[in-house]
Amino acid sequence: MKSTNLSDRTDFEAATGSPCSLNFRGVNLSNSTAPLDTIFIKCDFSGADLSKTDLSGLTFRECLLQQTDFTDCILIGTKFTDKSDLTSAILHRVDAKKSVFSNSNLSKVEATDGEFNGADFFESKLEQSRFYRSDLTDVENFSPDRTYISEAVISGKTVDKWTVLRTEYTGLNLIISMFPAAIFVVSLLVKTYASIALSVSVR
């Protein structure tokens, strides 16, 4: 992705339409007044500080957002599409209700106390991402891949029927979670023993 010379806060706040290939790499855009209904295309926000900024309704198409700080951002209805790369982005305390992460890379994302109600993760990578105390109610197309999910609110249609959530279990939760497996193993052993015993008696 080729970017122009380094852009600044003024360029970000004044952006309109579909700005392309702007370079905000490492720029402090915290608490900015974000433009309305703007589609950023192939822009570089890697390492930028977008914390405490209302990005509702914006679209980031094929953008670089690696290690971008979205802490305390409002991302309601925000769209990240077309292979946007959010690797290692920080999403602490974001309000990302109804946001769209489509065909994007969210590997190693850190999300604590986030609101992702109704968000869509269509064909997005979530490898080694961490969702801690986040609300994942009714998210769509959420397919964890070695994803750390702890103390999250998960209900509704959080995961499609083919997906298995890998959640951390410790202490009492670990013991409780092992009961079904233990019952299955014991019943299997009993059936095996009965089968062997029956076979021996027939002989």
Q: 44: buried, middle or exposed (CB in 10 Å: 19+, 13-18, 0-12)? A: buried
pLDDT at 92: 96
Phi, psi for 186 (deg, rounded to 5): -65, -45
HSE-CB at 134 with a 13 A cutoff on CA atoms is 29
pLDDT at 157: 45
Q: Give this prediction's pTM.
A: 0.72
User: What CATH number should be reported for the domain whose range is 1-168?
Assistant: 2.160.20.80
Residues of the chain with confidence (pLDDT) below 50: 1-3, 156-174
pLDDT at 142: 86
pLDDT at 45: 96
Parse the chain into domains and list their residue ranges: 1-168, 176-203
pLDDT at 164: 38
pLDDT at 69: 97
d(CA 121, CA 125): 8
pLDDT at 200: 60
CB contact at 8 A, 81 and 61: yes
pLDDT tens across 53-72, in order? 999 999 999 999 999 999 99
Picking from 141, 185, 186, the residue whose alpha carbon sits closest to that of residue 163 is 141
